[in-house]
Structure 1
């Protein structure tokens, strides 16, 4: 079984080092980000099983990181590390999608217990969402296999990521900017027309030759896949 990977986003060197040592001892894979920009880069490069996120960070606040992450990822558990007097920030963090918070100074045993709870909950969620589908279209998230009826569809990594994001947000019209940010990444610099190009590629593979088109254009807004119950 792979070690759960935990990202520690904390600018206090002594605290981040203690967390790293304790989590490593508990057989977790760890990485430290000491500022908001480094944290966003690490979140973009790798999937994490859990994130410990300090609210007060240089360059980019923990709440802003949380806001950006939750636009793309609604599932990864995020535990906020907060100061005792940050009541407003705790509330804001929970409203933005944080799963939990601990107040500094905290007992490491309490934090470890909360981490175990959220990792168990996440494993259960992952087991329940191993595939995505609408109508005849099916995506196996473990094998990355895409099928429509019994026909296997070969997608490039970017096409696959785009399809998965559309399916995870069925019935929600997604703008080009949302798709750029969540499929291409926070720091993508380029023309948003790239979305139209890849939607065209995806339609050629997913919809062409079938009577029903799953990928819909909402003129002037963006794109959507609507749920097709069989």
Structure 2
């Protein structure tokens, strides 16, 4: 299983952070507040915390201290909007293990995340395999299977399934899927996501008692495991 990174941001998860990390083979989950992130860490093997701290005056830096005290084994990378000396020093003093200023180079973010994981002894899975229920996705070879059955997916179907698997049991909006899978912003008149979801359903869920690809009415889609299905 690829390292799991939790992006802590009270606003909508930004592709600026998520895309380079997913491209590097990490799983990225977005949470919005202190209680959510602490609950998530208690239930999942989190490898790294990525904190998007926009405003020092908003009191968000206190989150660094709370997380560092309660989860000292998890590295913290703080993303800040100001390169002022006092702001950066404050993040380190409260427990951040590294600090980056936004905007940034995607490859630098990938390198610094990899460095923190190496320092904390988190091993990368060379095969970069992802397990989602009984679906196995090998991101290196781009091979997919469900149970004992190999799934023959087109490149874009693979990318779409991988996106859903990286956000397992979470709702993915059509807009976000378009941004992350098709690499462009939302276009009101396109139904390309719906078309590819239909194709994917045929290949993933056909003949299966449990249907993993779910429509979240009025929002988008999700990939669900039996324990999380409604």
**Which of the two has higher C-alpha Rg?**
1
Alpha-carbon offset, residue 186 of structure 1: 3.8
Q: After TM superposition, give the deviation of residue 192 of structure 1 in Å.
A: 3.9
Count of matched residue pairs: 150
Aligned partner of 1:84 in structure 2 is 84
Look up the match of 2:143. 145
Alpha-carbon spacing, 1:210–1:67, altered in 2? closer, same or farther (3 Å): closer
RMSD: 4.0
Q: 1:116 to 1:227 in 2, by over 3 A?
A: closer
CA–CA separation in structure 2 for the residues paired with 1:122 and 1:187: 36
Query: Which residue of 178, 192, 205 corresponds with 1:207?
Result: 205
Asked whether the equivalents of residues 19 and 180 of structure 2 are also in contact (C-alpha less than 8 Å), the reply is yes
Query: In the alignment, is the contact (CA less than 8 A) between 2:214 and 2:222 conserved in 1?
Result: yes
8 Å Cα contact 1:162-1:183 kept in structure 2: yes
Aligned with 1:132 (options 98, 122, 130): 130
Q: Partner of 1:127: helix, strand, or coil?
A: coil
SS in 1 for 2:124: helix
1:191 Cα offset (Å): 3.7
* Larger RCO of the pair (alpha carbons < 8 Å, separation 6+): 2
CA distance in 1, matches of 2:164, 2:181: 10
Aligned match for 1:177, one of 168, 175, 178? 175
SS at 2:209 equivalent:
coil
1:134 is displaced (CA, Å) by 2.7
Please say if residues 171 and 224 of structure 1, whose CA atoms lie closer than 8 Å, have aligned partners that are also in contact.
yes
Aligned residue for 1:69?
A: 16
Question: Quick check: which one's helix share is greater?
Answer: 1
Question: What is the CA-CA distance between 1:221 and the residue it aligns to?
Answer: 1.4
Name the residue aligned to 1:194: 192
SS in 2 for 1:147: strand
1:106 alignment partner in structure 2: none
CA distance in 2, matches of 1:121, 1:184: 34
Kept in 2, the 8 Å contact 1:134–1:228? The answer is no
Following the alignment from structure 1 to structure 2, what is the Cα–Cα distance between the partners of residues 164 and 99? Answer: 30
CA–CA distance in structure 1, aligned partners of residues 155 and 122 of structure 2: 26
| 2:127–2:138 Cα contact (<8 Å) kept | no
TM-score, normalised on structure 2? 0.51
